[in-house]
Amino acid sequence: MERPQRAILMNKKNSSARIEDYALIGDCETAALVSRHGSIDWLCWPHFGSPACFAALLGEEENGHWVIAPKKAFRVSRRYIEHTLAVETTFETEEGSAALLDFMPLRGKNPNSSVVRIVRGVHGQVPMKMQLILRFDYGHIVPWVVRAQDGGLRAVAGPDTVTLHTIAPLRGENLKTVSEFTVRQGESMQFVLTYGDSPGKAPKARDVDKWLENTVKDWKKWARKSNTQGQYADAIERSLITLKALTYRPTGGIIAAPTASLPERIGGARNWDYRFCWLRDATFTLLALMNAGYFEEARAWRDWLLRAVAGSPEQVQIMYGIRGERNLLEWNVPWLSGYEGSAPVRIGNAASGQLQLDVYGEISDALLHAYLGGLPPEPVALTLQQLLTDHLAKIWQERDQGIWEVRGAARHFTYSKVMAWVAFDRALQIAEKFGMRGEVSRWRETREKIHKQVCEEGYDRQMGSFTQSYGSKELDASLLLIPLVGFLPASDARVRGTVEAVEKQLMADGFVLRYRTENVNDGLPAGEGAFLACSFWMVSALGMLGRHEDARVLFERLLALRNDVGLLAEEYDPRSKRQLGNFPQALTHIALVNAACDFTSCSPGWQRARSSRAAKPGD
């Protein structure tokens, strides 16, 4: 069951939407954001990593959007059709009400991607207006628009072509396409926008009602495979559907978010492109998918992971493109003003070239979970992991940029060393249980050496807590994962002290910050919202400490931040009560699923593999 709908007063001249005012639609190869006032303000075609043809989200409406809404003032409520990614927006006006249904059909064998918008009269009559502004290459290339033979339009710019099919009256107006029409009770108007290659044939009109029927059926069939249960099953299902929507079906890669450069602070410069696949998310993703019963998706993600990191161990990156691309060149878009003036707008991500030691632990941990979850180990996977573990044995003592990809001086980040320990620990478990070959005695010796070093150099006895990096007095929310990965048991006084220190010093208005940005010299202005994934990690940590009521209260506080259709961004500003950062964020929704399972045992057989070494309190 969806969350209760909210109704607010809006009009046709509404300013740019808040991040949380968007809903997601997609076809598992790309996705679009639809605002509460009927405007699609972000869409990259033909896949997640393509340049946007609707980029108003990061600029102005002239950078591309597609709005369908009443001509006069209206109130709005919306919902997802249960168990699907089709969103229905209901407009209430003085003259009547109309519903706008937005969805993207799953492509299947169809090579073209389409956005379908159906306006239906509910009661009375509602005068409507449609405005379509297509601007290719992130909002600045105006296409050549011609009439299609079937009465629609065809827009062409270089290799890109988009065709609009509709029987609504269309006219050109200042390099825009507009339409005015009225829907009455029982009537409907359909709009289908389809992408294709400009040298190819224009796509033909399709049976929209059949498309809708099949799309709803496909999503409901997928949702039924979930084995989640309990009071949070609906929230978990919406997060899993969102995760599925962020999966690139041809390869199994899962992007961090479908957007680029949404700010971590309004007006700030921490604006990053998240349309890539981070290795760091591997373990969390596999846990969420497998514990919900989605082994096919888990296998596809595991296989993408193996293909992406294949090759020389020295060349492993922290992130890749949806097909495993390695060149993620970062550049600034000068013609986009940024979301609410938050500049620069960055495309690509320079962090892909950083050394982040924790990813070796994530790969090793993910593969162990895959095997324990029933995905059979393959010889190539075992060989690859052996090579990666041997390479880590050579470099684990180096400084790195850490889990948060700090763009400052490299350091000995405590979490990075903990995850290096995880890499060796999981490799030893795989060698023992699944026959992986390697220098087992050396791995065991290195594991013990790392553990001892972290406990000596990464722990501050005066603070009674582990710290962000060796010799630092700063805290970091990633330290909450120490008991979750089995580095130390939750019963250890150092773990309890760390959780309590993070709770005391990094919680802002009831939510967890990643770290204090003002204390990190990374060349960027300080300031960002509370990091929602870290807040869910706190839920898991509190549960492991036996503080189940505190965990439940925090979890429900986090659930209350979801927008009216159940979506969450990367961060949240509790003072302005706004979601921040790229949206919707895969890691946030993954953390939601895993936190729910951590403290409620909502999934049968839920268990996270722990260390094969039981650390003693005196270590």
The fold for domain 8-200 equals: Beta-galactosidase; Chain A, domain 5 (2.70.98)
User: Whats the size of the chain, residue-wise?
Assistant: 619
- Cα 140 to Cα 56, 63, 64, 262, 407: the distances in Å are 11, 6, 8, 19, 30
Tokens of 51: 């340049």
Query: Which two structure tokens, joined as six digits, stand for 14?
Result: 């509404």
Residues 518-548: tens digit of each pLDDT:
656 555 565 678 999 999 999 999 999 999 9
| Structure confidence at residue 150 (pLDDT) | 67
- Whole-number Å distance between alpha carbons of 365 and 394: 19
Can you list the alpha helix ranges (DSSP code H) found in 167-291? 208-223, 233-245, 282-291
Q: What is the mean pLDDT of residues 428-437?
A: 94
What digits encode the pLDDT tens for the residues 374-385? 888 989 889 999
Q: What is the DSSP code (8-state) at residue 479?
A: G
Query: Helix, strand or coil for residue 41?
Result: strand
How many angstroms separate the Cα of 404 from the Cα of each of 115, 147, 398, 441, 515? 35, 49, 17, 32, 9
Residues forming CATH 1.50.10.10 domain(s) in the chain: 222-600
pTM: 0.93
pLDDT at 619: 46
Q: Average pLDDT of 145-152?
A: 79
Band the pLDDT of 287: cuts 50, 70, 90: confident
Any idea which fold 222-600 has? Glycosyltransferase (1.50.10)
- Note the pLDDT of residue 154: 92
User: Residue 304 to residues 278, 363, 367: CA-CA distances in angstroms?
Assistant: 11, 12, 12
Of 495, 614, 476, which Cα lies nearest the Cα of 543? 495
Q: Which residue has the higher pLDDT, 166 or 618?
A: 166
Write out the residue limits of the CATH 2.70.98.10 domain(s) in the chain. 8-200
| pLDDT value for 407 | 79
Residue 75 burial (CB count, 10 A): 15
- pLDDT of 525 reads 61
pLDDT band at 485 (very low <50, low <70, confident <90, very high): very high
Instruction: Please give the C-alpha separations between residue 545 and each of 103, 460, 529, 548, in angstroms, as whole numbers.
Output: 43, 20, 26, 8
Please compute the mean of the pLDDT values over residues 433-457 and round it to a whole number. 96
